[in-house]
Chain A
Amino acid sequence: MEIKKGIGVSPGVVISTAVVLDAEDLLIPKRGIEAGQVEGEVERLKAGVAAAIVALGKLKDDVASQHGKEIGGIFEFHLGILKDKSLLSQIAAEIRTQKVSAEYAVSVVMRRYAGKFLRMTNQYLSERVKDIHDIEKGLLNALIGQRREDLAHLKTDVVVIAHDLLPSQTASLDRRHVKGFATDAGGRTSHTAIVARAMGIPAVVGLGNITSEVSGGDTLIIDGNRGLVIINPDEEQLAEHREFERRLERLEKELGGLRELPAETKDGHVVSLQANIEFPEEVDDAVLRGAQGVGLYRTEFLYLASDHEPSEEEHYDAYADAVRRLKGRPLVIRTLDLGADKQTQARALVPERNPFLGDRSIRMCLHDIPMFKRQLRAILRASIMGDVRIMFPMISTLMELRQAKMILNDVMEELEDEGADFRRDIPIGMMVEVPSAAYMANNFAKEVNFFSIGTNDLIQYILAVDRTNEKVAGLYCPAHPAVLAVVRDVIRAGARNTIGVSVCGEMAGEPLYTLLLLGLGLTTFSMNGPDIPEVKKIIRSTTMEHAKHVARKVMSFDSERQVMHYLRDELRKIDPDVF
């Protein structure tokens, strides 16, 4: 029984069985398995070896056809080792006697041999150690590739442990059975945190080395409220956490009672609370929590969840699904925002030196108009099914915005020629996240129907901070006076030009900033579904007058610390339970 402390980034408590997602490191930590799993693991080993042999055979053929049989012959040795039956039975024996995973057994046995090679005086032989490492790596890759398959088709409820979760990994997880996350790395705004909150499951990140402490099959308690992970808890802790779980359920019911009530201040000021989603299925949960619509549908996951660019039909199916589930409530679809931290770098032929500031998002779309049009066509076709709105991300110049609108117009004409039905006056908005757009908000406001302030990236650009870089992530702070000034000015520009303004970044869902945003005049907040009840509670517990007072006070401060202390105090007065 062990207790590990990390950062709780998604609330809730879950007690379940662990599944460990290995990173592609060669350092495979010991993975103990149950006696009953041993034969299954041996089968996995055999399948992995067979797969590695096939993969190597293909590679050999490719190389031989390009460079001649001689070079292809290099792989003969590797194949010879992979087909070595006595080696296979040694690894299988390791699995059986030590009760460890196939990956661990492979590592142990191969490294034992590597050691023997290294110690040889004959230079030719001692150099063969490189081959041994290559073979080990190839085998591990084959085995790990297999494991990824298993995670897409889970049979029982599990919690997923990993070093860090990439969008590509979460996109292909079997979401019905995943009940919690715990990772070595990450912070409050990491991908793991975002997905966990969207799924409404507990998550703890920043645990440091949880992947080497947990074995597949261990029982874990993941406490997203207190940021704890308990490995193989004893009876007492199980009881304590079940009690905590019950209390949380009661709290949830209480907040659930808020669902039907409007997000209205005591003095009658009404705002709209909406949800950010990544998959259509999240709509149901969001609506249950009181979402009045979807303020941000992140469409990247359509691209990340598969190995090919989604077709127009695949786009359409997803959007139609989301619209249907919303039953008339508004849906804001953001066009492809793939970029720096979302994995495209791995696929790029020549990785960009500074992907954050590179060819991503709307820029990428304007460079690949056929791809852009596929998405736009699908959005327009879905627009007749409900209240659909379209939004362009990362707009930095008026030119870009006009180009995007022009292409949208082209698509409309194409659809018209085809006799397809769509909504001609579909509301067109843009993300305000690049500082240039924020500065010229007044100009941009004249050319769109609405703004959505993307505080996540806006803060990164304004403060020059990469929130995924653990060394500087602490500098990322929504409470920075410069950030607040920009947000205030964009809201004002919107009001001046009578267009709707929403905030769809994490800030919108953080109770700490609700009073402030309200007081600055924000009328639409879009956040992860699970965050809606708490934000609503705060809005219903205050007056617009008080919120304005809070905002005025905050805007007079010149440091994040002052801002946060003050906001914390004000929040505690309204909702003592919140911390």
Chain B
Amino acid sequence: MPTASKEIVVSNKLGLHARPAMQFVDLANQFKSAVTVYKGGEEPCEADGKSVMQMIILAATEGTPLRIQAEGDDAEAAVQKLAQLFADKFGEGE
């Protein structure tokens, strides 16, 4: 099964709060691949990219580095699109 992954850094001011988390999950759900998001640092943890609860619990504040990983036929596209969300700061302007 093809996999893909990409490292990003949370750049919007409020971090991965409820609204961006839901946006991420909504987008992830459009892909067939399984999506996992890894957070490193002092307390490493991972989240199912299709679970709002787990994504929010990541507590990914501004500046947190994350690795988005997908596994499945559309893994590459999934990772690209999901990373773009972060790059666009989830449309929050800052």
Q: Interface of A with B (CB < 8 Å)?
A: 76-77, 80-81, 83-87, 113, 116-117, 120, 122, 124-125, 128
Contact = CB atoms under 8 A, between A and B. Distances in A.
Most buried by B among A80, A84, A120: A80
Contacts of B14: 124
Interface residues of B, number: 18
B18 A113 contact: no
5 contacts: A76-B18, A76-B22, A83-B52, A84-B25, A117-B57
A80 B52 contact: yes
B77 interface: no
A84 B48 CA distance: 10
Contacts of A77: 18-19, 22, 52
Given A80-B25, A81-B52, A86-B50, A124 B17 contact: yes
Given A81-B52, A85-B51, 9 more contacts: A76-B19, A76-B22, A81-B53, A84-B51, A86-B54, A87-B51, A117-B57, A122-B15, A125-B59
B61 A122 contact: yes
Most buried by A among B17, B25, B50, B51: B51
A84 B53 contact: yes
B57 A116 contact: yes
Contacts of B4: none
B56 interface: yes
Given A76-B22, A77-B18, A77-B22, A125 B50 contact: no
Nearest to A124: B17
A86 B59 contact: no
Interface string B36-79: 00000000000010111110110101000000000000000000
A128 B55 CA distance: 13
Contacts of B50: 85-86
A122 B18 CA distance: 13
A85 B49 CA distance: 11
A85 B59 CA distance: 20
Contact of B53 (A76, A113, A120): A113
A333 B48 CA distance: 64
Given A124-B17, A128-B18, A84 B52 contact: yes
Nearest to A82: B52
- Complex A-B, nearest 4 residue pairs according to Cβ-Cβ distance, in ascending order: A86-B51, A80-B52, A77-B18, A80-B22
Nearest to B57: A116
Contacts of A85: 50-51
Nearest to A116: B57
Contacts of A116: 57
A363 to B, nearest CB: 51
Nearest to A121: B59
A85 to B, nearest CB: 7
A113 B57 contact: yes
Interface in B1-17: 14-15, 17
Contacts of A83: 52
A8 B57 CA distance: 51
B12 to A, nearest CB: 13
A246 to B, nearest CB: 57
A239 B51 CA distance: 54
A553 B56 CA distance: 78
A84 B28 CA distance: 12
A85 B52 CA distance: 9
A122 B53 contact: no
A117 B14 CA distance: 16
A76 B25 CA distance: 13
Contacts of B25: 80, 84
Nearest to B49: A86
Most buried by A among B14, B19, B54, B59: B59
A144 to B, nearest CB: 22
Contacts of B59: 120, 122, 125
A124 B15 CA distance: 10
Nearest to B17: A124
A78 to B, nearest CB: 10
B94 to A, nearest CB: 16
